[in-house]
Structure 1
């Protein structure tokens, strides 16, 4: 007879941190894109943004940072963020103006858009 599976712990996601070469620049990009507040302890080597419910989005300086390659896996992406938006085309245009890059490869452009942030982390915009 097998033991019943243990009840998983209740874990609340409190932070997501991305490696990058310039934490201040990446925080500025995501602050503009999300409206999250700049965390009071942000500095040159680590910057952060806080959402109203407490979710923290951090950016840490890594010496010799190498950006992920997408869609290739020469340098794996390891993580990407998804953002739900009301206006897919309008939001994409703003983010491109603010420093995002749109790669040629788009798996399903009618449903979502893959963009790269200024540190070249892939992230997706999806229709609300």
Structure 2
């Protein structure tokens, strides 16, 4: 192995709000906060999920490309409908365009970053 993924950091307008959203969604504990500029979560395996404030932040325009998404995250869930509903309660939105709603769900976090919810490969009927 040459590399091991150790961290992912997302740009946003409000790091603490986005860290709180992802803490609620993943259960990964809040681990770092420096003023209003940065917040982060750290998993028990050491993985770090960071959120940094960027002046003039513009959310991605998924599925359009006016502001490209640049990256997206995928999360395994047991139930697409239940997970989607809970995330919407916490501030996520669900765009109208859903390329494969039977297999995964595109969701936008409160800062507009697209991510996907999917049933683990072994648990779905392919």
Interval of TM-score (by shorter of Structure 1 and Structure 2): over 0.9
Match of residue 124 from structure 2: none
Residues 1:42 and 2:24 aligned together? no
Match of residue 114 from structure 2: 122
List alignment gaps of at least 5 residues for structure 1. 1-8
Whose Rg is larger? 1
Residues 1:64 and 2:53 aligned together? no
List alignment gaps of at least 5 residues for structure 2. 121-126
Residue of 62, 65, 79 corresponding to 1:73: 65
- State the Cα deviation string for residues 46-74 of structure 1 (Å, max 9, x = none): 00001111110000000000110000000
- Residue 119 of structure 1 deviates from its aligned partner by 0.2
Distance in 2 between residues matched to 1:90 and 1:101, nearest whole Å: 14
Distance in 1 between residues matched to 2:46 and 2:80, nearest whole Å: 26
Residues 1:88 and 2:90 aligned together? no
Question: 4+ residue stretches of structure 1 with deviation over 6 A?
Answer: none
Distance in 1 between residues matched to 2:69 and 2:82, nearest whole Å: 26
Residue of 74, 94, 108 corresponding to 1:102: 94
Distance in 2 between residues matched to 1:126 and 1:51, nearest whole Å: 20
